[in-house]
């Protein structure tokens, strides 16, 4: 028998009050969270708790529906290599969310499982149910109301949720809401189109790619990129800055056009050149709460 479950995370502000949830049906689901965390952490915790809550069902496979490519790639591609390197990335830097990754590594040991990516907020019944519960947990932490934790797995020996300390979780630890205050806003003297070119250049600089916090500032919460290596979301782009990143360092750009598509939206088209070749790129930037952030990018390699 295969257990089919959706796992999801939510963070109000990212980082901010955070929640996680997994969902099989109305009798089998669980949720939790922290006063301060990220979407990444919520997504990881949902999967960890799902494995822990079904640990007594060793003979049954897990099929996990997940809208986070970061989580899927972490389990299926990146984590074995990080573990061999002492939980460090290719550049020698420690991986993010280390405590959660160690819990996840222990939880999946000896289990049979598969992951399936599903598009979030697209009407998928199980994904929507998990998302709703993760957001409800995050909202409860925000409002300081009781956390809707759910029934868990009814016949489990004990409630299996792992209560990791928020300070141990990682990606934005020690960084408050002022993280988002350093993105310049356009002025009467400087058009938004010029600012967008500078921000795009900054995003492609090696120093920026080495700073996950800054990349997180520049990328919209719903960022997506379509390129030769596939579809990337924000979490995957941030986590994979060890060489597999959706945003690549050491790139020169030739601006082909900047078009204002509205007061808060700018489309930038350009040719990028790096050691790996050239590509035509389209980047859509949106202003959110006064800050310009990259919402979407598409790459078309040349030659």
Active site positions, annotated? 8-9, 43, 67, 121, 131
* Cβ atoms 151, 28 nearer than 8 A: yes
For the chain, counts of helices (H) and of strands (E): 9, 11
Radius of gyration of the chain (CA): 20
d(CA 246, CA 200): 13
Closest CA relative to residue 199, chosen from 247, 153, 151, 144: 247
What does the block give as tokens for 12?
């109000």
Any idea which residue has 């360092």 for tokens? 249
First to last CA, the chain: 48
- With 0-12 / 13-18 / 19 or more C-beta atoms within 10 angstroms meaning exposed / middle / buried, residue 296 is middle
Task: Give the largest CA-CA distance in the chain.
Answer: 66
Distance of CA 224 to the CA centre of its chain: 11
| 99 CB burial (10 A radius; 0-12, 13-18, 19+) | middle
Closest CA relative to residue 204, chosen from 290, 283, 123, 144: 283
């Amino acid at each position: 028998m295969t257990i089919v479950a959706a796992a999801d995370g939510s963070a109000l502000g990212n980082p901010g009050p955070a929640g996680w949830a997994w969902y099989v049906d109305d009798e089998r689901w669980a949720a939790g969270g922290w006063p301060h965390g990220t979407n990444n952490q919520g997504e990881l915790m949902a999967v960890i708790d799902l494995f822990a809550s079904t640990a007594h069902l060793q003979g049954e496979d897990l099929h996990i529906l997940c809208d986070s490519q970061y989580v899927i790639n972490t389990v299926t591609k990146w984590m074995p290599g990080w573990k061999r390197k002492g939980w460090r990335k290719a550049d020698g830097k420690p991986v993010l969310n280390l405590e959660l990754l160690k819990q996840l590594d222990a939880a999946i040991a000896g289990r049979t499982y598969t992951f399936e990516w599903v598009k979030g907020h697209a009407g998928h019944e199980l994904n929507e149910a998990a998302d709703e519960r993760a957001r409800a947990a995050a909202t409860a932490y925000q409002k300081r109301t009781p956390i809707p934790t759910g029934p868990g797995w009814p016949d489990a020996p004990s409630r299996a949720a792992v209560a990791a300390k928020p300070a141990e979780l990682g990606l934005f630890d020690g960084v408050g809401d002022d993280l988002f205050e350093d993105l310049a806003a356009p002025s009467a003297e400087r058009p938004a189109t010029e600012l967008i070119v500078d921000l795009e250049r900054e995003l492609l600089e090696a120093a920026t790619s080495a700073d996950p916090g800054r990349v997180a500032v520049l990328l919209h919460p719903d960022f997506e990129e379509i390129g030769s290596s596939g579809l990337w979301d924000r979490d995957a782009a941030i986590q994979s800055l060890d060489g597999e990143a959706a945003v690549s360092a050491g790139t020169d750009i030739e601006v082909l056009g900047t078009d204002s598509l509205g007061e808060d939206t700018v489309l930038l088209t350009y040719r990028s050149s790096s050691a790996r070749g050239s590509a035509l790129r389209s980047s859509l930037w949106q202003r959110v709460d006064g800050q310009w952030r990259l919402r979407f990018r598409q790459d078309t390699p040349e030659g």
